[in-house]
Homo-oligomer: A and B are copies of this chain.
Amino acid sequence: MRNRNGTFGVAVKLSENSGLALWHGVLVAGLRGDLPDLTTRQQALLLHVYLSPPPHTVRGLAATLNMSKPAVTRALDRLGRLDFVRRKRDEADKRNILVQRTVKGAVFLREFAELVARTAADIPTDTAAG
């Protein structure tokens, strides 16, 4: 079965109500936990850097994430302070900044992924087939 993004695989089955419940559970668990609370844009940026193929430039991120360049710069500042992401000058074109992953960022995302999976496991499927 071919998915819309062009890859192959079995689609994740998730009914609408389950999706809401999942989102709810993860958000609440996130607020309880001591993880740093990131802005929606910061979250999106972080995930995008880790889940989309490089290279990631400021301008590119701003375009695909639909935010202004200054917003991207500031988000990188914050994520950099948290050591979740790192800036590196592009030696080929020294105007560009390449956003790179870090070990600490990978650890954080793995923990977050476990939180999502754990939350999902607690949600009963209402109409299952989605």
Q: Taking beta carbons and an 8 Å cutoff, which residues of A are in contact with B?
A: 3-5, 7-24, 26-28, 30-32, 37-41, 43-44, 47-48, 50-51, 64-67, 109-110, 112-114, 116-117, 120-126, 128, 130
Contacts and interface: CB of A to CB of B under 8 A. Distances in A.
Nearest to A113: B16
- Can you tell how many copies of this chain the complex includes? 2
A31 B24 contact: no
Contacts of A128: 10
B47 A12 contact: no
A67 B37 CA distance: 12
Contacts of A117: 14-16, 19, 130
Contacts of A26: 23
